[in-house]
Chains A and B, each alone.
Chain A
Amino acid sequence: MTRILVAGNDILVRPESRVMLEAKGYHIITCLDVQAATSHFLDDPPDILVLEKGLGGKGDRGLIRMVSACLQKANIPILLVIRQEEMIAGIDWCDYPVDDIICFPVAPETLLIRVQLAEARMNRVFDNNPLSKLPGNTSILKAIQSALESEKPLAVCYVDIDNFKPYNDHYGFSQGDDVILMVARVIVNVVDEIAREQSFVGHIGGDDYVFIVTEDKAEEVCKRVLANFEAVRNMFIEPEDVKRGGFVEKDRQGRETSFGLLSISIAVIPTNHGKFEHFGQVSAAASQLKHKVKALDGNNYLVDQRESYSPG
């Protein structure tokens, strides 16, 4: 059952359109104003948004931003309904990062076929991690490659969770999933708030993530990610383990070992100075640096200081 949220005047979806869509198994929720649409979206995110341009003044853009930032559902297609005169005047697509437009008045068969197309396109969409909904390896590769080609100095930051495997064994995979999701949220929200420009967040898989931000913001983002993680972490750990400062679990050789609490390590690789040519070199440098960071106790980040890079 695909749920379509229609935000705008109730003439957007005429009764005959509704009948046609519902016959095809779509469920339609109509909200007449931005406040109701936002409220509905927060409670119960739909699969597709049909939005009337100009709803609530600039409120329509706020709604689009919220949908684009929705982490529970990646890639909710947004269909913008515009009028003939708006089409002639032109639209700044940076203000309206939508997936498709429909011209008013909307014929029922047009609406149906556009909705179906939007759905099909969404299903083709790449490689998002099913748990965190963040872009996966193909996108990460592309993002790092384009970071290497960028004029602006950027930093590729590799994040992983220390003691995650024993935590997962000790607490069970469902709690492990919660922690993976929590760290994804922490990273996305920090990057979004303080370093949105030219940024990217991806999920390699398991407890490994990558984010890219401009180099001047990298340390600030790392510090905030670590602090926010520290603030939230204890909600995912039993109070007695928090008091003890760790837990006992079998290590990879099957011996009972005591592990410290979850913490985060970030390896920061600045891309400037042209020291990297391709993705492989970045990830090799990162894995060397990651060993160093992970050897430190607790939450840490380290910035790669080497001027030149030689493999091995």
Chain B
Amino acid sequence: MEDSKRQQFRAALRETKNLPTLPGIVVKLSRMADDPDSTTEQMGKVLSKDHILAAKLLKLVNSAFYGFPQRISSLSSAIILLGFNVVKSLIVSASIFEMMEDQDVELWEHSLGCAVACSVVARRIGVDEPEEVSTAGLIHDIGKVAIKMELPQEYEMITRLMRERKMSMRQAELEVLGLGHDEAGGWLTKSWNLPTKLIEPIACHHDPRLAKDEMLSSSIIHFSDILIRGMGYGHAGDDKVPALSKRAWQLLNLSPEDINFIIDEVEEKLWEVKGFSLEIQAETENSATNG
């Protein structure tokens, strides 16, 4: 892969403007925004279940205009600082998929499942800020969405390679673009001024050894990604479970009891998520038939 080509992809991905959201989420949130009785907190609960809107919210609160660059890593704080009106505006400005594909819903489910697993693992290990780890887990695959939207032709080639040569998505990305969605997500969030706490775990979720400051969070997201794929919730674009990093595994230092606890806890928490997902898909279908 020649460097200039890689640079060109890099520049295109950094410029990503259009990250579409599931119609069902936008419909639900628009309804809440119009309801005088709904609170910012309630809307925050829904926003924090969507990898795209969550990423946009963090982009907004860390932008130079709002005055807190590279500082805000939690969604609840972002909502407190931006306020009801800005959150409503964010919903108005949200774009939705022009062509909904099953995999868009599946990637959303995978992201949400990964956030749930991150939160359980982070709490079990006893990290200081479990909410931030779970937020990083929620948006860890944002690079995949950016590649699909910004580089549609290359994305076609990537899916063809996966199909024809039975490659994992990341292998195919490396073959076609010379870079993976993890790196792409890292640049994107860096160009949005997100804090290192979030950038590193996204950029290093396939190889936590690359993390300088956030190796533990990166390891949690790396492991949660594998765990949620193994548990068969959602679909991350391919059916290949990534190799577990030895370094990450040592760092997490989970005992068999920990693993049992984590699997039970994630299973339980997924019930709520599954209910929410069904609700959103019903909204999506409604909006398709009425829209």
Binding site for B on A (CB under 8 A): 34-35, 38-39, 41-45, 59, 62, 65-66, 69, 71-72, 178, 181-182, 185-186, 188-189, 192-193, 228, 231-232, 235-236, 239
Contacts and interface: CB of A to CB of B under 8 A. Distances in A.
B93 A42 contact: yes
Contacts of B71: 178, 235-236
B129 to A, nearest CB: 8
Interface residues of B, number: 28
Interface stretch (B81-89, B199-207, B240-248): B81-89
Contacts, number: 77
B77 A232 contact: yes
Contacts of B90: 42
Interface string B62-76: 010111100111101
Tell me whether chain A's interface is mostly helix, strand or loop, or mixed: helix
A41 B85 CA distance: 13
Interface in B214-239: none
Contacts of B92: 34-35, 38, 59, 62
A239 B73 CA distance: 14
Nearest to A58: B34
Interface in B78-129: 80-86, 88-90, 92-93, 95, 128
B67 A193 contact: no
B7 interface: no
SS class, residues of chain B in contact with chain A: helix
A66 B83 CA distance: 11
Contacts of B77: 231-232, 235
Given A189-B80, A231-B80, A232-B77, A66 B85 contact: yes
A43 B68 CA distance: 14
A241 to B, nearest CB: 13
Given A35-B93, A66-B85, A69-B85, A45 B80 contact: no
B17 to A, nearest CB: 9
A40 to B, nearest CB: 8
A217 B89 CA distance: 26
Contacts of B83: 69, 185, 188-189, 192-193
